[in-house]
Amino acid sequence: MTHTLKKLAILVGGGPAPGINSVIGAATIRGALSGCEVVGIRDGFKWIMDGNIDHVTPLTIDAVSRIHFRGGSYIGISRSNPTKSDQQLENCVISLLRLNVDKLITIGGDDTAFSACRLEDRSKGRIRVVHVPKTIDNDLNLPGDICTFGYQTARHIGVEIVKNLMVDARTTSRWYFVVTMGRKAGHLALGIGKAAGATVTMIPEEFPGKVRLKKLVDTLVGAVIKRLSDGRQDGVVIMAEGLVEAMDPQDLQEIEGVERDAHDNLRIAEVNLGELLKSRVQEGLRRYNLKTTIVAKNIGYELRCADPIPFDMEYTRDLGYCATKYLDEGGNAVMITMQDGHFKPLLFSEMMDERTGKTKIRMVDINAERYKISRRYMIRLRRDDFEDPHELAKFAATVGISIEEFRSEFEYLVGDEPPPIHLALR
């Protein structure tokens, strides 16, 4: 198919994820080999939504041939949201047309996917758009249960960090409260916690309805007491940052005033969940004349710009190649996904919720049958722990808390726990 305009543009929105450069590189090489000029729109929608077309980087085979080994984004990134204003959305279309662009690849998560949908609709056929899904949170419901790119690398690096923290915790007799990224889903925290064998892993999906701060605190206090009763003074807790966004509003009074980003998301990074829980847990332990050292640590920025592992390099090179090939063959308005090693386009119309007008390609349902085993690795205060008093027997004598008092204090925690594996999978 012959087109009057022969320029392909690539831009990246949202937060970084390992593999972005692999998409850019493969998409550029495929475009150049088909005779198309390729340009990178720097810093996402930030400049073009204001009509500024000066921030553009020419992309050539020589320039991108080795960038797939590195993390970060060769053309920058931003969370700028052009959909908040009709004028800014129109500016994006006009800016791209002024750059002689008729094909656009956007790389990003749910918010960038929504912007891509709106931009394609606004262009009225003048610009064909495809979107490549990206997030280390793994919170996009892709075909074939495939993870979003960057997740595997982020989990890999996260496990390495937590492994070292576990050694430090045992060596120094302390606890680490580790908060990972994961605004809308707890997959990253769960993946790291399961692989590393963390003492406790807490994600918002584990709690029906709104998450109550007291329940989080009680869970952690109970975990510390159980470990002490077994002669262990150390532990590592992995928790998803999304616990904050899922928290009951009346428990958020202390963190009111925290800013929201351009897509109206709570700036979770500004909420120090680890320090908040550290303080409350230490306060709860003092009621039993107990004291332990707790260190709060956030990990996420260390993960999202890491060099991609081979899995993500291969996966993202496929995505970039397929994105350009689909556009080159006249395709439009799809999200680029892979299923069983083959390209599978997902139409923008399939991504949209007709009622709200927003993208519905969002959180994976972790309560689905395939996640029942995963849930067994969650909070370790299961009902059977209370039936056997052996663990707490010697502990009760030393700290003055009886098994009955412990059960009375923490029994409600197990009410929402999933059944054992053999029951859950029947």
- C-alpha span between 59 and 61 (Å, rounded): 7
- C-alpha span between 112 and 79 (Å, rounded): 8
Q: Would you call 145 a catalytic residue per the annotation?
A: no
Q: Work out the number of other CB atoms within 10 angstroms of the CB of residue 385.
A: 17
Cα angle value 255/46/318 (rounded, 5°): 100
Under 8 Å between Cβ of 147 and 138: yes
Closest CA to 10 of 342, 336, 362: 336
Long-range contacts of 61-64 (CB under 8 A, 24+ apart): 61/28, 61/29, 61/32, 61/33, 63/28, 64/21, 64/24, 64/25, 64/28, 64/29
Q: Which of 137, 139, 312, 318 is catalytic?
A: 137
Tokens of 200: 């406790």
DSSP string, 230-245: TT---EEEEEETHHHH
Tokens of 92: 């994006």
Tokens of 213: 């701060």
Work out whether the CA dihedral 15, 18, 19, 20 comes out positive or negative: positive
- C-alpha span between 243 and 273 (Å, rounded): 8
Under 8 Å between Cβ of 128 and 102: yes
- C-alpha span between 268 and 245 (Å, rounded): 8
Q: Tell me the catalytic residues.
A: 137
